[in-house]
Chain A
Amino acid sequence: MLRYVGKRLVLMLVSLWLIASLTFVLMHSIPGDPFTSEKKLPKQTLENLKAKYGLDKPLPAQYVQYMGNLVKFDLGISIKSTTRTVNDILEEGFPVSAHLGIQSILVALAAGIVMGMIAASRQNQLSDYFLMVLAVIGLSVPAFVLAPLFQKYFGMKWNLLPVWGWGEFDKTILPSIVLAFSPLALVTRLTRSSMLEVIGQDYIRTARAKGLPPIRVMSRHTLRNAIIPVVTIMGPLTAAILTGSFVVEQIFAIPGLGKYFVESITNRDYPVIMGVTIFYSAFLIVMNFLVDLLYGWIDPRIKLGGKEAG
């Protein structure tokens, strides 16, 4: 186990270095730089600006300098918001995005698993059809359509919930639900199909034959095994929720990190592009690692280290 963890940690660091290097190269190869603007700056001003941010040096030198700073966890200063360091942006923005993301994942998981279980246990009945139609809608309606609709009805028409801002719990409800909508649909469908698969297995029949109450069969025997596919998508799901929060954060005026993911590229704000990419990559790599560890816990047949149990 320890050896496995050690090996994974080294791999994680190598992946991160590769991602950082690749991003660095790609970022500098797209047209435009942070100072490209509609009103052209005088040549001298441009040179002064480049010198200020060290962009006047050859690219390899910039790379070495960046990596040197990265090791010291110094991600530099945003070129657009000159008074803010990338570390500040991450420290202030990520907790907000994470809060929103975790809340959405919880909504998606809780509601999705329950809905999936209901659909599976009532296969081909009206409630199953209803939930599946709902899941299709959830997967196909994008957040930028759903969010204004929610704002219009829950906020303006019925005056139930605030439609913007951050800080109090009631402000988090609408954005969490909007963000959870698509993953919720996915979890519902996955839970339903894997439940149906498990329900047909011999050991479930045995459990039922032993006279166990259906609720117990469902929760202890069926769900535990049916949940594996759901756990498998947890890594990518977290990624999707965190990186996909941009639209929701923008619509609900939430001070999260999502927008930097898009804006920094539009602005060619090099330090922010690098910082946010490396940060999210590190986060996702760690998440995937944790999911792998979770497999072993849920299903002891899955041995970590890559060797299948006989």
Chain B
Amino acid sequence: MGKGISRGIALLSVLSMVFLAACGGGNSADKGGKGELAEKQEITLGNIPSEPPGLDPLDAKDSVSGDILSQTMVGLTKMDKKGEPIPGIAEKWDANEDMTQITFHLRDAQWSNGDPVTAEDFEYAWKRMLDPKNGAVYAYQLFYLKNGEKYNKGKAKADEVGVKAVDEKTLEVTLEQPTPYFLSLTTFYSLKPVPKKVVEANKDWASEADSYVCNGPFKVKSWKHDAKIVLEKNDKYYDADKVKLTQINLPFIADQKTGYQMFQTGDVDSSNSNIVPTDLTKKLLDSGEAKGVPQIATYTVEFNTKKKPFNNKKVRKAFSMAIDRKQIVENVLEGGQEPANGWVPWGMPDFAAGKDFAEVHGKYIEPTPQPDEAKKLLAEGLKEEGLKKMPEMTYLYNTDDGHKKIAEALQQMWKENLGVDIKLGNVEWKVFLERKTAGDFDLVRFGWLPDYIDPMTFMDVYMTDSGNNDPKFSNKKYDELIKKAKSTADQKVRMQALHEAEDLLMDEMPTAPLYWYTRVYMDKDYVKNVYRAIDGSVFYEEAYLTEK
């Protein structure tokens, strides 16, 4: 293993321990239940709201598919309880100093049909993901590979892509540039392998239980479309000894209240927030029936920086200062969220400091409003733009009760603390996205979840040429800092550049972060050892049930 990686992992361990100690780690509490292992190790989860779009890593593009794939497929690495990539199908790996060449050494592992999991399965799966003909949504997760993007654009051949099975057990990966978080990426479902032989023989292999072949702790026993998936323990799994659950039932429950009632009647044993009715969240959290874990994600208000007066940073800052984040979190959301004090949320590691990135950067934003200063800044900003008063502006959000409540609270806060009337505009989801992308908005809501565990996944959103930079924020210095962080594997240099970039971003304030997410979940007392990772994945590999 390369030095850089070892150091990163060591630091991440420290960080994660601190983080887990602070938040309870998201594992099921060990209290309750009789403590003895239950005879019947069959669990019913309320996690799945609908038919999964695809159980082939190529087709998986959503959390529903991801939730199931977390149980059925294992990639080169797995995310451990501390959020680090640890050996999965890859037993160990070596990397060069700048983290551009990684050689993965695979363990003896089998597919559920008994075939060995080979390096070729990985090479095949990744090239298949990048093949332009296959139109994979997450192909860009492999653009880190040498010539990955070029191949996807039809400008390079498959042979030129930086992934090669040297032999059955050795996979050689060459990256375009230093990517210290590539190992973390290999836990993601798009980078999981597929059984080459099976896929080539049957292109519909992943659409029915009978033909589905996987390599994880559980395999698909039955799949009744639109109704239910049943998983059973996969005896061919390399770590099968650790797996105690014999069966996982996954009924598709679209309605939150139904899920909640099923939990109450004992039809569901464990679930995440999709069975916690929004109006009961606070009550259930207070009573301890539901629990919350921090989730790495930020909810924010973006300003259209190309539009007067939001092209003026004083006006943007004034709007941000007028927001009472504490009130939004405590009285509007009531789900244990944290008022955001910066763009990079809690839970994201600073690999150089061995702490939370947000802890290192300190507080950019106050949780309570500062109306006097906000009004002063607004007046100055408007004057600089040659305006006498604030023109008519609209806050755009998509149809959803939660977004509506926040929008109404913001409207009231801007009125009270800034003396400004902002209109509310509510549109359907896809219309919302189209308008946001087209820059057809004044102020707009935005929520960002990470693609991988590194602050970069938040910071590069606001680079000038980023596809997700809807406020059209453009700052040369900012771009340079991000580019600097992207060009090296030295964590100290990277983290320093990212912190400086965030300083700049929060000073320019094209985006006014409101809060950091939590994930609320409910487990029966007898459900133990469920692991809820910091990126939102839930793993039942080591979960078990005690006697009720």
Contact = CB atoms under 8 A, between A and B. Distances in A.
Interface of A: 30-33, 35-45, 48-53, 80-84, 88-89, 92-93, 148, 151-152, 155-156, 159, 163-166, 250-253, 255-256, 259, 263, 266, 268
Contact of B51 (A49, A81, A148, A163): A81
Nearest to A148: B257
Given A255-B225, A255-B226, 6 more contacts: A38-B447, A42-B467, A45-B152, A48-B132, A164-B262, A251-B258
Contacts of A259: 50, 254
A92 B226 CA distance: 9
Nearest to B466: A40
A152 B261 contact: yes
B253 interface: yes
Nearest to B253: A253
Nearest to B59: A82
Given A83-B207, A164-B262, A253 B254 contact: yes
Contacts of A89: 225-226
Contact of B56 (A30, A83, A165): A83
Contacts of A49: 135, 137
Given A49-B135, A83-B56, A163-B265, A253 B252 contact: yes
Given A82-B53, A93-B226, A155-B261, A266 B255 contact: no
A36 B430 contact: yes
Contacts of B428: 266
Contact of A266 (B54, B140, B258, B430): B430
A164 B258 contact: yes
Contacts of A163: 258, 261-262, 265
A84 B225 contact: yes
A46 to B, nearest CB: 9
A253 B135 CA distance: 32
B152 A156 contact: no
Given A31-B430, A48-B133, A156-B264, A250 B53 contact: no
A305 B207 CA distance: 49
Contacts of B227: 165-166, 253, 255
B153 interface: yes
A45 B254 contact: no
Contacts of B59: 82-83
Interface string B396-436: 00000000000000000000000000000000111101110
Interface string B188-229: 000000000000000010110000000000000000111100
A252 to B, nearest CB: 7
B468 A164 contact: no
B447 A253 contact: no
Contact of B137 (A33, A41, A92, A268): A41
Given A255-B227, A266-B430, A39 B468 contact: yes
Interface string B224-250: 111100000000000000000000000
Nearest to B252: A253
Contact of B139 (A35, A45, A51, A263): A45
Given A40-B468, A255-B226, A83 B430 contact: no
B113 interface: no
B437 interface: yes
- The 3 residue pairs across chains A and B that have the minimum distance between CB atoms: A32-B430, A83-B207, A52-B135
Contacts of A41: 137, 140, 467
B54 A51 contact: no
Nearest to B398: A38
A52 B134 contact: yes
B411 to A, nearest CB: 23
Contacts of B225: 84, 88-89, 92, 255
Contacts of A83: 54-56, 59, 204, 206-207
